[in-house]
A and B are shown apart, each in its own frame.
Chain A
Amino acid sequence: MTEQAFSNIDAKHSESSGLRSIAADFSSDRSAFRNVSWGKAMMWIFLLSDTFVFSSFLIAYMTARMSTTVPWPNPSEVFALTIGGVTLPLILIAIMTFVLISSSGTMAMAVNFAYRRDRRKTAALMLLTALLGAAFVGMQAFEWSKLIHEGVRPWSNPWGAAQFGSSFFMITGFHGTHVTFGVIFLLIIARKVWRGDFDQERRGFFTSRKGRYEAVEIMGLYWHFVDLVWVFIFAFFYLW
């Protein structure tokens, strides 16, 4: 326990790599994730928590699907659209998926331009992302109204197990709510970018904290997460 035994935490950190580097980060003072801002850390942990929400929803749905006494409706037929006399299974879902995945691309580009402090392109790409997101929600609304029109209700449907409608409305509704919130926040942050809040470090209305371009990236994390969740919903609900 002499002074010579004291080593420099930061020096130790810079020398190491891989697993040792992770261990060094976790044994360092101040922060466990070096160069990760509070906001970003919070978003990652929130998304972890939200993962448990969606996992619970999906597992619950799968349990219900396995425990029903009546056959489950065939999703390929239920979600088929007849366009120009041709019946295409899952066509609307395919388009929705394509739109949502594309919006992840535009979001990633927005993040890139945000770090180049390109105000206009960032805002434009965020608006495009929001537009794609809104289109997704719009198509979902169309899908809902079509199914409701065909007689699907949370408590029953014409084709089989009542849990089909319950799970469908619950899971897509919960995901759609996430997308809707995402669109709202995209618009709010796009407005801030456009107005130059992050260049001037203007303080937030509620939090009175300085705005930073990192907000775009944190928004992006959320948006990609919502996309990723959709992939699982697509796989487990529509393709199964």
Chain B
Amino acid sequence: MVDVPLGPIGTAPSPATEDVELYHPHSWVTKYVFSQDAKIIAIQYSFVALTVGLIALVLSWLMRLQLGFPGVFTFIDANAYYQFITMHGMMMVVYVLTALFLGGFGNYLIPLMVGARDMVFPYLNMLSFWVYLLAVLILVASFFAPGGPTGAGWTLYPPQAIMSGTPGGQDWGIVLMLVSLMVFIIGFTMGGLNYVVTVLQARARGMTLMRMPLTVWGIFTASFMALLAFPALFVGAVMMLFDRALGTSFFMPAIVEMGQTLDRSGGSPLLFQHLFWFFGHPEVYIVALPAFGIVSDLISTHARRNIFGYRMMVWALLAIGALSFVVWAHHMYVSGMNPYFGFFFATTTLIIAIPTAIKVYNWILTLWRGDIHLNVPMLFALAFIVTFLNGGLTGLFLGNVVVDVPLSDTMFVVAHFHMVMGVAPILVIFGAIYHWYPKVTGRMLNDTLGKLHFWVTFLGAYAIFFPMHYLGLMGVPRRYHEIGEMAFVPPSAHTLNAFITIVALIVGAVQLVFVFNLFWSLRHGRPSGGNPWRATTLEWQTPETPPPHGNWGKELPVVYRWAYDYSVPGAAEDFLPQNQPNAQATAGLAHG
């Protein structure tokens, strides 16, 4: 028996709820370029984000080449190294992960999964993408600006970020970075309002909040959080831009640069850190929550079992979202805060482990005695669980002040956040692309290439990031251009670094197999039909695949059940789509 009631379903005419007035494109340009269709916008977002991802991947290669073989590649001097590290971080976190999960998956899946024809404000949605593209162009332009991009580290801490010792600090780099972030935030706000209002106000008949697939819950919560977290970054960016361009001293204390006393005083560098991390920590969960949601759906679908503890999953998502706004200063234990703050923030940080653990247990209990299909999306989903668990456990180390202080600014931190918010969400992104590609294109991705991609990526990621924990425990610092001769760093650390670099090159190269698969399957993939995974959620029940403009044809779907009716005892099929009425579903069901 499923533990969620199949009802209630209203029969009375519903109160005034508007239907979408769709914009009908008149030309190829308004249909595919300046499109107001969320599905096209989603593809545009994903394409741009994946392209930025490839750029950021190449940057990580360059960094690894320097770390693995210091001195061999002379064009990677200290300045270039810092520029690569900064751009890699900022691109991956904001312009790839946030944009891909919310702009890409959010746009594609929200209207389809809640049974809407489109986002509620299609025009604004279109603007959102073009503003995002503008932000990306401004960011990429800094590679070609005088002085190159900023090398301040992705956290852009002042005062160094705007001083002459830092690459781009007194050139264009930091200015372009800050402007790009502000533009991104404006564009995201347009999209984020759409995602949130669509989920809240434009669901199908019968689609209650507690019947929504967890994917929608994850993206919805993350979008809402982003609307509240990005303002802090926006304000920080405005103030730093003023410091850099107008000579104000918001973040600048009295300071000496190259032997010269600067004409600044009274500012607070800590203030920027607070603003940045008030955005930065929720940002971790803005990336993680959509991944949590998507992975729940992947596991449930491919294990043919209802998700374990659906309600707890939803409440855990919301709890994580709320808690993530009161933990930001755990990034600042070594910054010189009042020690009592550290105590408070360590406590809240560790409390987050509870809802997170609930989710991990529920995923495992969903798999328990499930009919597990080890296809490519499922492999990625399983890989996510272990990777996230690993990254989460090292998070417990770093959340404690006394353990964090010695580990801070070592490779241990790099290993931790790459596992938990780098590799883990990207594994979900891959799994999700393999899962939903058939709906987007009508064809399956190639399975053999997919498995090759999976195994090399998964094992490779561990070969890269596991050793970094050891490096960190030995005290190898992060963000160093060259470790050089340090008494406490044994020669084996250098060998390990070379090993990591070689694996990183291989893992990076395998992503080209994935890109090839994406394009090759567009033509040559096996036709998938409308519902190749025999899934319950609404997006698989569209009359046509890929879904046309307006998604549903004449009639909007009516929802009769939650999203997880897999292997219901007595039902004819092992899945009951959300829009299947009870009478049909329970025919021959021998209970009252």
A31 to B198, CA, bound (A): 9
Do A209 and B21 contact each other (CB < 8 Å), given the known contacts A42-B197, A49-B227, A63-B268? yes
Chain A residue at smallest Cβ distance from B583:
A3
Produce 1/0 per residue, A44-64, CB < 8 A to B.
011011101101110010011
Question: Across the interface, which residues of A come within 8 angstroms of B234, CB to CB?
Answer: 53, 56
- From residue A50, how far is it (CB to closest CB) to chain B in Å? 8
A7 to B208, CA, bound (A): 14
Q: Let me know if A31 and B202 touch, CB within 8 A.
A: yes
- From residue B217, how far is it (CB to closest CB) to chain A in Å? 13
In the complex, identify which listed stretch (B11-19, B96-104, B451-459, B525-533) lies at the interface while the others stay far away: B11-19
A55 to B228, CA, bound (A): 11
Size band of the A side of the interface?
Answer: 35 or more
B206 within 8 A of A: yes
Do A60 and B265 contact each other (CB < 8 Å), given the known contacts A30-B207, A210-B21? no
Q: Let me know if B227 and A64 touch, CB within 8 A.
A: no
Contact of A1 among B5, B121, B239, B274 (CB under 8 A): B5
Chain A residue at smallest Cβ distance from B23:
A208
- From residue B208, how far is it (CB to closest CB) to chain A in Å? 5
A9 within 8 A of B: yes
Q: Let me know if B210 and A27 touch, CB within 8 A.
A: yes
Question: Across the interface, which residues of B come within 8 angstroms of A35, CB to CB?
Answer: 15-16
Produce 1/0 per residue, B2-15, CB < 8 A to A.
00011111111011
B164 within 8 A of A: no
Do A31 and B271 contact each other (CB < 8 Å), given the known contacts A36-B201, A56-B235, A163-B266? no
Could you tell me how many residues of chain B have their Cβ less than 8 Å away from some Cβ of chain A? 69
A199 to B314, CA, bound (A): 43
Contact of A46 among B189, B224, B559, B582 (CB under 8 A): B189
- From residue B4, how far is it (CB to closest CB) to chain A in Å? 10
Question: Across the interface, which residues of B come within 8 angstroms of A1, CB to CB?
Answer: 1, 5-7, 591-592
- From residue B182, how far is it (CB to closest CB) to chain A in Å? 11
Question: Across the interface, which residues of A come within 8 angstroms of B275, CB to CB?
Answer: 56, 60
Interface of A toward B, CB cutoff 8 Å: 1-3, 5-12, 26-38, 41-42, 45-46, 48-50, 52-53, 55-57, 60, 63-64, 67-70, 154-155, 161-163, 165-166, 170, 174, 206-210
Question: Across the interface, which residues of B come within 8 angstroms of A32, CB to CB?
Answer: 200-201, 209
Q: Let me know if A49 and B14 touch, CB within 8 A.
A: no
The 3 A-B pairs with the shortest beta carbon distances in the complex, nearest first, are A6-B7, A52-B231, A166-B248
Do A5 and B5 contact each other (CB < 8 Å), given the known contacts A30-B17, A53-B231? yes
Q: Let me know if B201 and A163 touch, CB within 8 A.
A: no
Question: Across the interface, which residues of A come within 8 angstroms of B17, CB to CB?
Answer: 30-31
Question: Across the interface, which residues of B come within 8 angstroms of A6, CB to CB?
Answer: 6-9
A151 to B160, CA, bound (A): 29
- From residue A226, how far is it (CB to closest CB) to chain B in Å? 16
> Can you sample 15 A-B contacts with CB below 8 Å?
A1-B6, A7-B8, A8-B12, A10-B12, A11-B10, A29-B204, A33-B201, A49-B192, A63-B274, A154-B247, A162-B265, A166-B248, A170-B248, A207-B121, A207-B123
Question: Across the interface, which residues of A come within 8 angstroms of B265, CB to CB?
Answer: 68-70, 162
Question: Across the interface, which residues of A come within 8 angstroms of B591, CB to CB?
Answer: 1
A64 to B11, CA, bound (A): 59
A148 to B17, CA, bound (A): 53
A154 to B248, CA, bound (A): 6
Q: Let me know if B250 and A31 touch, CB within 8 A.
A: no
Q: Let me know if A49 and B559 touch, CB within 8 A.
A: no
Q: Let me know if B121 and A42 touch, CB within 8 A.
A: yes
Chain A residue at smallest Cβ distance from B194:
A42
Among B67-104, those with CB < 8 Å from A are none
Question: Across the interface, which residues of A come within 8 angstroms of B203, CB to CB?
Answer: 29-31
Q: Let me know if A170 and B242 touch, CB within 8 A.
A: yes
Question: Across the interface, which residues of B come within 8 angstroms of A174, CB to CB?
Answer: 238
Question: Across the interface, which residues of A come within 8 angstroms of B120, CB to CB?
Answer: 38, 42
Chain A residue at smallest Cβ distance from B196:
A45
B52 within 8 A of A: no
A86 to B508, CA, bound (A): 74
- From residue A179, how far is it (CB to closest CB) to chain B in Å? 18
Question: Across the interface, which residues of B come within 8 angstroms of A33, CB to CB?
Answer: 200-201
Chain B residue at smallest Cβ distance from A44:
B197
B249 within 8 A of A: yes
- From residue B268, how far is it (CB to closest CB) to chain A in Å? 4
B358 within 8 A of A: no
Give the interface centre of A34, A42, A57, A163 by most chain B CB atoms within 10 Å.
A42
Contact of A63 among B201, B207, B227, B271 (CB under 8 A): B271
Chain B residue at smallest Cβ distance from A174:
B238
Give the interface centre of B8, B17, B227 by most chain A CB atoms within 10 Å.
B8
- From residue A148, how far is it (CB to closest CB) to chain B in Å? 13
Question: Across the interface, which residues of B come within 8 angstroms of A53, CB to CB?
Answer: 231, 234-235
Do A60 and B189 contact each other (CB < 8 Å), given the known contacts A38-B121, A166-B250? no
Contact of B193 among A46, A57, A210 (CB under 8 A): A46
Q: Let me know if B242 and A166 touch, CB within 8 A.
A: yes
A163 to B253, CA, bound (A): 11
Give the interface centre of A30, A49, A52 by most chain B CB atoms within 10 Å.
A30
A49 to B233, CA, bound (A): 12
A240 to B3, CA, bound (A): 57
Q: Let me know if B246 and A154 touch, CB within 8 A.
A: yes
A3 to B254, CA, bound (A): 74
A64 to B207, CA, bound (A): 48
A212 to B15, CA, bound (A): 19
A209 to B193, CA, bound (A): 18
B205 within 8 A of A: yes
B498 within 8 A of A: no
B267 within 8 A of A: yes
